[in-house]
Amino acid sequence: MNLSAVLFAVVLAWGADPREQARAIEALIDADALEEARTQLDASDLPPLLEQTLRGRLALATGKPQRAIKAFSRAIELAPDHAPLEVLLAHAQLEAGRHDDAITTLTRAKVDERDPPIALLLASAHRADDDPAAAYGALKAAVEAKPEHAVLHQQLVLLCASEGLFEAAKTWAQRVDRDVLGSSTAALAIAQARGETGGLRFARWIASAYPADAAVQAELGWVESAAGQYRRAGRALARAARLGSDTAFAAAEHYRAAQRYREALAVNAAVTDDRRRAEQRFDILFEDGKQARAVVAGERLEAKGWLVPRRRYNLAYAHYALRQFAEASRHARALSGTAESTRAAALLRAMGR
């Protein structure tokens, strides 16, 4: 919602004389220089209508919507039926969680509900009021009037996806090109598809348009994971990691779950945290049956003080598998009094120790 444009309409309604002073204070609010804006507003001699409008805007900017509602209501008393002020009031009501009041205010205001900023505000109020059908109606009417408006299309895609209406989301996404829809919208829409019926197909379809976007590929990976497609999840998360996302560890874990150990080791090398990378490398090698390499990785963990009981037992077993019984026994005995003591004792008995 462009609140500056709304305030400008209020300024014009009053007249030209206080315009520059009001614009200067408004510019400070827009620049987040809120204390300076407050200081100048307190020292100003603006007419009551402009003063209350600016105080409402300042209250909204400082996260005080109830105070904004009072200020805008006072301004409306000075200029009844002035649509821009009604819009500001509705915005404050929505911020305050008074969704029904915001809808009522916009409905009674003499505004075109198909105007994109009004439709977006109205749709937000309906969604917050748990009425997605009304939100959809508001957005659809607006986009039919302004088919070139990108944000309307984006919000329709997100609304449909959030309601599990993935075919409808796809239909709206197809009406604009990928740059208009935007990768941020695509990533948010894919996130809504996780674990939902029909969500996987939709996620794959929309993600295919953004192969070089880290956030989109990461979200696709989590949708694949929720569907039990661990190899595909690993692939998407690994692609996201190559594009700069912090998903290398998750990618390796998914490849590991799919028993794709070579791919798991390859992406493990990109894990940035030293300990997580070293621990994961040991786990992958051990599960892949590469016991000699697992022993080397395990010794590095021990040297760093990172060898937790579960991995110490696995290291003991790796030594045992390699018939290195002295080292296997050393690690097994070190597990006395831990959660792994029972398994360690069994391993010692198997070695006759």
Residues whose CB is less than 8 angstroms from the CB of residue 66 and which lie 6 or more positions away in sequence, other chains included: 96
Under a CB-based contact definition with an 8 Å cutoff, are residues 54 and 7 in contact? yes
What is the distance between the alpha carbons of residues 285 and 318, in angstroms, rounded to a whole number?
Answer: 10
342: domain range? 273-353
pLDDT of residue 199: 97
pLDDT of residue 14: 45
Whether 202 maps to a domain, the answer reads: no
- Residue 182: give its domain's CATH number: 1.25.40
Whether 86 maps to a domain, the answer reads: yes
Name the domain boundary from 96, 111, 126: 111
Whether 204 maps to a domain, the answer reads: no
Task: Assess whether 95 and 183 both reside in one domain.
Answer: no
What is the distance between the alpha carbons of residues 312 and 296, in angstroms, rounded to a whole number?
Answer: 13
Between 230-242 and 261-268, two packed helices, what is the crossing angle to 10 degrees?
A: 20
Under a CB-based contact definition with an 8 Å cutoff, are residues 176 and 156 in contact? no
Task: Assess whether 220 and 310 both reside in one domain.
Answer: no
Whether 262 maps to a domain, the answer reads: yes
- Residue 87: give its domain's CATH number: 1.25.40.10
pLDDT of residue 45: 85
**Number of domains within the chain:** 4
Task: Assess whether 121 and 106 both reside in one domain.
Answer: no
Whether 166 maps to a domain, the answer reads: yes
CA angle 67, 71, 72 (to 5 degrees): 115
What is the distance between the alpha carbons of residues 313 and 330, in angstroms, rounded to a whole number?
Answer: 10
Task: Assess whether 183 and 237 both reside in one domain.
Answer: no
Total Cβ atoms within 10 A of residue 94: 23
Whether 203 maps to a domain, the answer reads: no
Low-confidence ranges of the chain (pLDDT < 50): 1, 11-16
pLDDT of residue 20: 83
Task: Assess whether 85 and 119 both reside in one domain.
Answer: no
Name the domain boundary from 238, 269, 300: 269
pLDDT of residue 5: 53
Name the domain boundary from 269, 291, 312: 269
Task: Assess whether 3 and 94 both reside in one domain.
Answer: yes
What is the distance between the alpha carbons of residues 89 and 80, in angstroms, rounded to a whole number?
Answer: 12
Task: Assess whether 4 and 89 both reside in one domain.
Answer: yes
Structure tokens of 161?
């996806």
Task: Assess whether 36 and 84 both reside in one domain.
Answer: yes
pLDDT of residue 2: 57
Structure tokens of 230?
């661990």
Closest by Cα among 6, 4, 5 to 109? 6
| CA dist 151 → 1, 119, 250, 289 (Å) | 11, 11, 33, 53
Q: Can you state the percent helix, strand and coil of the chain, rounding each to 5? A: 75, 0, 25
Structure tokens of 307?
């060898």
Task: Assess whether 326 and 240 both reside in one domain.
Answer: no
Whether 121 maps to a domain, the answer reads: yes
Residues whose CB is less than 8 angstroms from the CB of residue 202 and which lie 6 or more positions away in sequence, other chains included: 161, 166, 167, 169, 170, 189, 190, 193
Whether 206 maps to a domain, the answer reads: no
Task: Assess whether 240 and 317 both reside in one domain.
Answer: no
| CA dist 149 → 42, 114, 145, 181, 315 (Å) | 39, 11, 9, 10, 60
Task: Assess whether 96 and 4 both reside in one domain.
Answer: yes
Task: Assess whether 193 and 117 both reside in one domain.
Answer: yes
What is the distance between the alpha carbons of residues 141 and 116, in angstroms, rounded to a whole number?
Answer: 10
